[in-house]
Amino acid sequence: MASNNTVLEENAADNPSAVFVLDHICDSVAMVDSNWRIIYINRAASQAIGKAILDLVGKDFWTELPTLLGTMDEVNFRRAMQDQVFVEFETFFIPTNSWQAVRIYPSPNRITIFSSDITAQKRAEEALRVSEEKFRMLFTHVDQGFCHAEMIFDVEGRPQDYRFLDVNPAFEQMTGLANATGKTALELVPNLERWWIEMYGRVVSTGESARFQHGSDVMGRFFDVFAVSVRENRFVILFTDITERKRYEREREELNIRLRQAMQETHHRVKNNLQVISALVELQVLETESDLTTAPLQRISQHVQALAFIHDLLTEQVKDNGELSYIGAKEVLDKLLPLLSNTIGIRRIDSDIDDIPLTPQKAATLALLVSECVSNSVKHGRGDIRIALNAKNESASLIISDDGAGFPQGFDPSLSARAGLQLIENATRWDMEGEVRFSNGEKGGAIVTVVFPVKAVLS
């Protein structure tokens, strides 16, 4: 308990009541005469020295406290005694391993010493100093701009400007504003957009933090900002200059627009060329009388039409999404199957399709596989044609089946001379990165199963 009653301290020796009080306070109190003999010492002081009061009274002050000799503490004690002046100082007292705030009151032929333990205060001050040093180091070396500012309101409470109270070195680097401390935003940037003042005014008024990206045409910069209110009318801003990143994003978007236009034009031209090829094939079919010759030509025409359909679909996709990296399998087959249904007469196509994302190349291959399998079923099978495309975990499977006679017993596709089956195998292996199986159903009918990894599709 520190003593703050100066009158009590100065008159302690002449006031019995004061002596009683001093015997029971937490501060250490001692009186020393001009010969440096201890003439009074209270309980707290005797406990600090580690001796009984009776063993200290009448003893030499310097003998009992030898650690004071040769220090500034000795200088202060002797000056108070010799010059008869009040002396106050702080010192580290070795015997108690503690910090003490010492006050020395002179009077004729003696001095009265009061000492208060301020160790806790010193530790708190040291902890604060270390904390401030760490903060200052972070404040100075952080690669983000940082500032502490005060919002300026008019008499009606509307934000008018804000003053920078403290800024770090990165602040100047990222804003181009030099010597900002103590100046207002409008002093530094007279034509600064009103948006900034209103935004920070809202942060201060509501107490709600804000995270945003915004540009200043006047400053010619774009910033990623986090602002938070810290006390009345004051706020802190942590920000990064993202001008270059925004410029890159703008250039990339402009490039994407040009690429979209180029992709759209490319798909459109390919589609037109395929339609021309399909028309030429159809014309050749009409001019050919042999069934053996027209069948392959009709199959080629069907495949060309399927590819033309895919490029038509891709053209539409590019119009809507310039960064086309995949296309849904369901969208592809939902539009392709009605076209194929028109070529199979009275037979019907039943489908169960999951919406699996495919790259444009794999989407085209899927259409080609379905078109070829339907063509084979029309030629060699009978009944309805069933198409299922399902995904599970990291694998997708395309299953196409019918009710025909199925594949011959001991059928080996590698030994087959049919070009359609070879097309299915090669397209599955190289384009879909999967494998194909040819089998028959329990009640008859051919089954073609294409299994391919979903990850490979997504990559």
Q: Of the candidates 127, 283, 121, 144, which has an alpha carbon nearest to the alpha carbon of residue 223?
A: 144
Which CATH number belongs to the domain containing residue 82 in this structure?
Answer: 3.30.450.20
Quote the CA–CA distance of 451 and 400 in Å, as a whole number: 12
Count of CB atoms situated within 10 Å of the CB of 16: 8
Quote the CA–CA distance of 177 and 333 in Å, as a whole number: 60
- pLDDT tens for each residue of 411-456: 887 776 566 788 888 889 988 999 999 999 988 899 999 999 986 4
Q: Which of 214, 241, 268 is the last residue of a domain?
A: 241
- pLDDT tens for each residue of 130-152: 776 766 676 666 778 999 999 99
Q: Of the candidates 298, 446, 444, 280, which has an alpha carbon nearest to the alpha carbon of residue 371?
A: 298
What pLDDT is recorded for position 8?
Answer: 40
What pLDDT is recorded for position 6?
Answer: 43
Confidence band, pLDDT 50/70/90 cuts, at residue 195? very high
Same domain, 278 and 367: no
Percent pLDDT > 70 in the chain is 77
Assess if residue 402 is contained within a domain: yes
What pLDDT is recorded for position 456?
Answer: 46
What pLDDT is recorded for position 4?
Answer: 36
Rama region for 352: left / alpha / beta (φ>0; ψ in -120 to 50; rest): beta
pLDDT of 407 strictly over 60: yes
Give me the domain span that covers residue 209: 142-241
Assess if residue 264 is contained within a domain: yes
Concatenating the DSSP letter of every residue in 220-280 gives: TEEEEEEEEEEETTEEEEEEEE-HHHHHHHHHHHHHHHHHHHHHHHHHHHHHHHHHHHHHH
Assess if residue 218 is contained within a domain: yes
Same domain, 260 and 305: yes
- Distance (Å) of CA 104 to CA 29, 45, 57, 87, 112: 10, 14, 18, 5, 6
Same domain, 226 and 278: no
- pLDDT tens for each residue of 295-349: 566 666 666 766 667 666 666 665 555 555 678 899 889 888 988 887 777 889 9
What pLDDT is recorded for position 278?
Answer: 63
pLDDT of 90 strictly over 80: yes
H-helix or E-strand spanning residue 440: strand 435-440
Structure-model confidence comparison of residues 251 and 223, the more confident one: 223
Residue 430 DSSP label: I
Cβ pair 196, 235 in contact under 8 A: no
pLDDT of 5 strictly over 50: no
Assess if residue 106 is contained within a domain: yes
- Distance (Å) of CA 60 to CA 35, 93, 113: 8, 18, 15
Give the CA diameter of the chain.
143
What pLDDT is recorded for position 95?
Answer: 83
Cβ pair 36, 61 in contact under 8 A: yes
Q: Of the candidates 350, 361, 379, 388, which has an alpha carbon nearest to the alpha carbon of residue 307?
A: 361
- Distance (Å) of CA 306 to CA 158, 292, 418, 438: 66, 22, 20, 23
Same domain, 283 and 376: no
Structure-model confidence comparison of residues 413 and 369, the more confident one: 369
Assess if residue 135 is contained within a domain: no
What pLDDT is recorded for position 261?
Answer: 67
Taken in order 57, 60, 63, 66, the sign of the CA dihedral is positive
Instruction: Please state, rounded to an integer, the average pLDDT across all residues of the chain.
Output: 83
Number of domains in the chain: 4
CA atoms within 13 A on the CB side of 176: 10
β-strand 87-93 against 98-107: which pairing, if any?
antiparallel
Across 15-19, 82-86, 130-134, 246-250, least confident range: 15-19
Same domain, 334 and 434: yes
To the nearest 10 degrees (0 to 180), the angle between helices 329-341 and 360-380 is 30
What is the pTM for the complete model shown? 0.41
Tokens encoding 339: 């076209």
Residue 50 DSSP label: T
Quote the CA–CA distance of 426 and 349 in Å, as a whole number: 25
Assess if residue 352 is contained within a domain: yes
Same domain, 345 and 452: yes
Q: Which of 271, 290, 324 is the last residue of a domain?
A: 324
Q: Which of 273, 297, 324 is the last residue of a domain?
A: 324
H-helix or E-strand spanning residue 195: helix 194-206
Which CATH number belongs to the domain containing residue 387 in this structure?
Answer: 3.30.565.10
Assess if residue 132 is contained within a domain: no
β-strand 385-392 against 349-353: which pairing, if any?
parallel
Quote the CA–CA distance of 417 and 411 in Å, as a whole number: 12
Structure-model confidence comparison of residues 367 and 149, the more confident one: 149
Same domain, 397 and 421: yes
- DSSP-assigned beta bridge partners for residue 92: 99
Residues making up the chain, counted from first to last = 459
* Cβ neighbours of residue 206 closer than 8 Å, sequence gap 6 or more: 229
The gap from C-alpha 329 to its chain's centroid, in whole angstroms, comes to 34
